[in-house]
């Protein structure tokens, strides 16, 4: 593996073993400071500095304008300010909590705070700070339901999906068929695969257990305290993936993670740049929940992305398949992509020639 991949400050790519103990993770940073006695909220200045250091200290695979960068920063600042100051992990760390058995919910165990409506067995002791940290460090626990004074939730943000539940697979057998096909087409047994918006990395963890020969790259903007082990963790905006990925990835897949991005044209261009010769991208694409509130810009960018892909196809640089009709797993309705556009939903499959 290239030595250049080992320096997160310049590449944005973190080896999995280092990421597992990375204290610059915002959620771990917050936990450490709260358990050290911090009660005041995190300021905009603190969070802005964190965003600059963690998300913009490396070169992007595709250039972005100052205005595009500003929108990305503003969106993440709002999200992190809420999560670090009001999110479920902070509430959990500050509350007196008890780990109890199943109380009629879907999980085998749940956490309740002392102010919740659920009765607490007298035999239980409150969780210590050390127990809370150990609990958060295991990504399986991020799906445990917990109840506090004014509501209930899980501790996970999003992106908690096994490989068998990805829309383009539907089963581990289908995933294996895909991997075998790409291995045959590229002549490689060791494939670099990237989950675009993979959250806690569960899908790639499953993929590695099925196929130990794979080298796994997980990209996510939103971090959790704990995550499943991958070979490389990439904390980035999907519109702004690291330059060091150029030409390295044999398979990119994504299950609707693009619905949250601001600039789909930059994301798709970055994916094409990241593909190795013979590599494949398979993305269930949607722009329905874009953080770009300028709907006309969203539509224009989906048209730009479509034309970019068609130009590459005409130049015989890629093989392209666009399925303009896919199910939407939020509204349960079905969209048809507009002509000569990817808006609002499409399945995009690209092989780089």
Q: Is residue 292 helix, strand or coil?
A: coil
Residue ranges of the chain whose pLDDT lies below 50:
1-7, 326-337
Give the C-alpha distances (Å, rounded to integers) separating 125 from 79, 122, 149, 223, 237: 34, 8, 18, 30, 41
pLDDT for the residue numbered 348: 87
Interior CA angle at 318 toward 313 and 322, to 5°?
70
Q: Name the E strands within 222-302.
A: 232-235, 249-255, 275-286
Only one residue has tokens 């694409």, namely: 285
**Under the phi-then-psi rule, with left for phi > 0, alpha for psi from -120 to 50, and beta for the rest, what region is 16?**
alpha
Tell me how far apart the alpha carbons of residues 65 and 76 are, in angstroms, rounded to a whole number: 17
pLDDT for the residue numbered 78: 94
Q: How many CA within 13 A on the CB side of residue 150?
A: 5
Tell me how far apart the alpha carbons of residues 262 and 265 are, in angstroms, rounded to a whole number: 9
pLDDT for the residue numbered 279: 96
Listed by start position, the domains of the chain span 90-154, 163-352
pLDDT for the residue numbered 186: 92
Tell me how far apart the alpha carbons of residues 203 and 162 are, in angstroms, rounded to a whole number: 4
pLDDT for the residue numbered 345: 63
**Backbone φ and ψ of 257, nearest 5°:** -65, -25
Tell me how far apart the alpha carbons of residues 264 and 282 are, in angstroms, rounded to a whole number: 15
Its pTM stands at: 0.89
Kindly state which CATH superfamily the domain 163-352 is placed in.
Vaccinia Virus protein VP39 (3.40.50.150)
Provide the terminal-to-terminal Cα distance of the chain, rounded to the nearest Å.
23
Helix 26-35 / helix 129-137 crossing angle, nearest 10 deg: 170
pLDDT for the residue numbered 343: 58
Cα-Cα-Cα-Cα dihedral sign, residues 203, 209, 211, 212 = positive
Tell me how far apart the alpha carbons of residues 29 and 336 are, in angstroms, rounded to a whole number: 43
Strands 192-196, 249-255: pairing is: parallel
Q: How many CA within 13 A on the CB side of residue 200?
A: 24
pLDDT for the residue numbered 330: 34
Only one residue has tokens 């990817």, namely: 342
pLDDT for the residue numbered 9: 56
pLDDT for the residue numbered 295: 81
Closest to 287 (Cα-Cα) out of 252, 328, 321: 328
């Amino acid at each position: 593996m290239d030595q250049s991949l080992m320096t997160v400050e310049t590449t944005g790519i973190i080896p999995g073993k280092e990421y597992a103990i990375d204290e610059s993770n915002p959620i771990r940073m917050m936990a450490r400071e709260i358990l050290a006695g911090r009660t005041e909220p995190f300021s905009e200045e603190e969070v802005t500095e964190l965003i600059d250091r963690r998300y913009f200290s490396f070169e992007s695979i595709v250039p972005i304008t100052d205005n595009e960068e500003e929108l990305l920063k503003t969106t993440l600042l709002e999200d992190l300010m809420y999560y670090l100051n009001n999110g479920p992990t902070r509430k959990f760390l500050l509350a007196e909590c008890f780990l109890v058995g199943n109380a009629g919910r879907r999980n085998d165990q749940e956490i309740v705070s002392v102010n919740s409506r659920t009765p607490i067995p007298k035999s239980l002791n409150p969780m210590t700070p050390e127990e809370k940290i150990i609990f958060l460090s295991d990504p399986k626990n991020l799906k445990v339901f917990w109840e506090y004074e004014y509501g209930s939730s899980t501790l996970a943000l999003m992106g908690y999906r096994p490989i068998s539940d990805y829309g383009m697979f539907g089963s581990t057998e289908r995933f294996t068929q895909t991997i075998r096909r790409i291995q045959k087409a590229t002549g490689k047994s060791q494939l670099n695969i990237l989950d675009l918006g993979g959250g806690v990395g569960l899908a790639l963890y499953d993929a590695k257990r099925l196929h130990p020969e794979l080298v796994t790259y997980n990209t996510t903007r939103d971090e959790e305290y704990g995550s499943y082990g991958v070979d490389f963790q990439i904390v980035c905006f999907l519109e702004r993936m690291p330059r060091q990925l150029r030409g390295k990835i044999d398979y990119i897949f994504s299950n609707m993670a693009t619905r949250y991005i601001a600039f789909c044209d930059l994301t798709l261009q970055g994916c094409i740049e990241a593909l190795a010769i013979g590599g494949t991208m398979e993305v269930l694409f949607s722009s329905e929940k874009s953080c770009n509130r300028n709907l006309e810009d969203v539509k224009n960018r989906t048209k730009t992305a479509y034309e970019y892909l068609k130009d590459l196809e005409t130049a015989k640089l890629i093989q392209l398949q666009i399925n303009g009709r896919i199910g939407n797993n939020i509204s349960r309705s079905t969209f048809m992509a507009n002509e000569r556009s990817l808006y609002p939903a499409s399945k995009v499959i690209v092989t780089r020639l």
